Amino acid sequence: MTSAYQVAGEAAAKAGVAIRELHEIGEFVRVYRLFDDIWHPDPGNPPVTVELMAGFAHAGGYVAGAFEDDSLVGASVGFRADGRTLHSHVTGASIGRGIGYALKLHQRAWCLDRGLTAISWTFDPLVRRNARFNLAKLGARPVEYLTNFYGVMGDAINEGDESDRLLALWELTGRAQEPPGGPYTAGVGVEGGLPVIGRVDGPVVLVATPPDIETLRRADPGAGRAWRLALREVLGGLMARGSQVAGFTDKGEYVVVN
């Protein structure tokens, strides 16, 4: 049987990187600089500090980097949570090369090697590519809608938006379930690029997302705000009353089962 580390190694080789755990201050400084290049945060609000990375690594947390020769092109930082779960606090990598996927598989292998059976993390429900990656590719499932979880985010990606997040849980030893078929109800649709709130009373509700919220926030902050409030009301409301997110469509819609 192919081991989890073998699967992770194959994904890393396909992405053209080598992934390893990090332990030295100089390595943590490189991760800090990589994340700074990706998010361009306010100086007082980095995704994670060098000191925290040192503490996580020393206390048995997960700090790993993806290297292309000697260049750091991706990294992930996590800490142990309740039960047998690792909380993946922040992961950043060059987009479109499979590096993020390789990091996740390495993280999975690391967890299984230590008796951990799940990985949790938060992501912006408006970022379609992340939702598709988390739900459709990895098979993680959102378990909670968190309103303005980190406060207003001051960086080049979030553009001062409120930080609503979905808490995703990836069960490492289970199999991904196929989302249910129709008929569907449109909880959030799209008209003229803006969200349109519809019905949420059907057995299966679709909640649309914008194609590129990061660009939209810069070009039209009002439209970005409209999308934030629409998903907060519909997706957040559905999850608060016990509905479950069962998948993500090719068209960029959450599939929610009432």
Share the mean pLDDT of the chain: 93
Q: Decide if pLDDT at 159 tops 80.
A: no
In this prediction, residue 160 has a pLDDT band, given cuts at 50, 70 and 90, of: low
d(CA 171, CA 184): 27
Peptide bond into 183 cis (omega under 30): yes
253 and 207 in contact (C-beta within 8 Å)? yes
172 and 119 in contact (C-beta within 8 Å)? yes
d(CA 168, CA 171): 10
Res 175: pLDDT: 74
Res 43: pLDDT: 80
In this prediction, residue 103 has a pLDDT band, given cuts at 50, 70 and 90, of: very high
* Element housing 30 (H / E): helix 25-39
d(CA 136, CA 142): 12
Amino acid at 154: G
pLDDT single digits (tens) 6-58: 999 999 999 999 999 999 999 999 999 999 999 888 887 899 999 999 999 99
Of residues 179 and 240, the one with the higher pLDDT is: 240
Res 55: pLDDT: 97
258 and 243 in contact (C-beta within 8 Å)? yes
Tell me the domains of the chain and their CATH numbers.
4-171 (3.40.630.30), 185-257 (no CATH)
In this prediction, residue 2 has a pLDDT band, given cuts at 50, 70 and 90, of: low
Q: What is the pTM of this model?
A: 0.92
Strands (E), 44-103: 62-68, 71-80, 85-93
Pairing of strands 165-171, 118-123: antiparallel
Res 19: pLDDT: 98
